[in-house]
Structure 1
């Protein structure tokens, strides 16, 4: 079993690194649809259903980016959800994942008329870290890429 540090070091000297990195990124992204489903399901269960908040948040878009350069090498999941232009222009998914959801006070949507409600933390981060298939896919992809590099 190789490490990501070994892979990055060996990629620098490999002539066809683009082919290897594309194959690696594709293999790492393979479990992302399953993770999307888990995150959306978790939002429906963990977030308040009154007013449709949990259902609304569950329709977020989730993308995965793979970076194989420098010290920040790894996989990053990003979630986005646009707010309604008249009501709330941005949605702070990070804050919701930390356990705080903003909502209007009695329907008033002006500046300073929003307050926070405690919600169950981790609707986004827990499902993403609990998926064993993703961890296995990452390890297998790194091992395969190292094998391709060592074969030449």
Structure 2
């Protein structure tokens, strides 16, 4: 089993690094549909149904950024969701907090913070074993291609 540090070191000296990098990124992104399904399932199961917060959060767009540069090498999963006025705080929702209007009033100072089940995004992303296995397999495959020349 190879490490990401060894891969980065070897990629710098390898002539066909672009092809290896492209294949690596593609292989790492393969489990994203399973991660999306797990996030949607967790959102609909754990977040409040009344008012439609669970359905709204389940429509979160999930993408992965694969970075192979220096010490910041790794995979970063990102969730984004547009709402009215382009303000949606998914990070805070994942932490278990959501802003809600008090008794239907939406004026200044008429909002409160409500606690919800934390981890609708981060827990399923960490629990999907396919993700970890795909990353390890991708690194091993890339190292094998580099070592073969």
Provide TM-score, normalisation by structure 2: 0.96
* Structure 1 ranges of 4+ moved more than 3 A: none
Provide structure 2 residue ranges, at least 5 long, that are not aligned to the other structure: none
What is the CA distance between 1:110 and its match in structure 2? 3.1
* 1:32 has 2:32 as partner: yes
Separation (CA, whole Å) in 2 of partners of 1:65 and 1:151: 27
- Among candidates 125, 142, 147, match of residue 145 of structure 1: 142
Residues 23-71 of structure 1 deviation map (CA, whole Å, 9 limit, x = unaligned) = 0000000000010011011001111111111111111111111000011
Equivalence for 1:109: 106
Equivalence for 1:125: 122
Farther off after superposition, 109-118 or 74-83: 109-118
Provide TM-score, normalisation by structure 1: 0.94
What is the CA distance between 1:84 and its match in structure 2? 1.6
Q: 1:1-152 to 2 correspondence within 5 Å?
A: 1-85=1-85, 89-152=86-149
Question: 3-state DSSP class of the match of 2:51?
Answer: helix
Residues 100-133 of structure 1 deviation map (CA, whole Å, 9 limit, x = unaligned) = 0111122222333321111111110000001111
RMSD of aligned C-alpha atoms?
1.0
Question: 3-state DSSP class of the match of 2:137?
Answer: helix
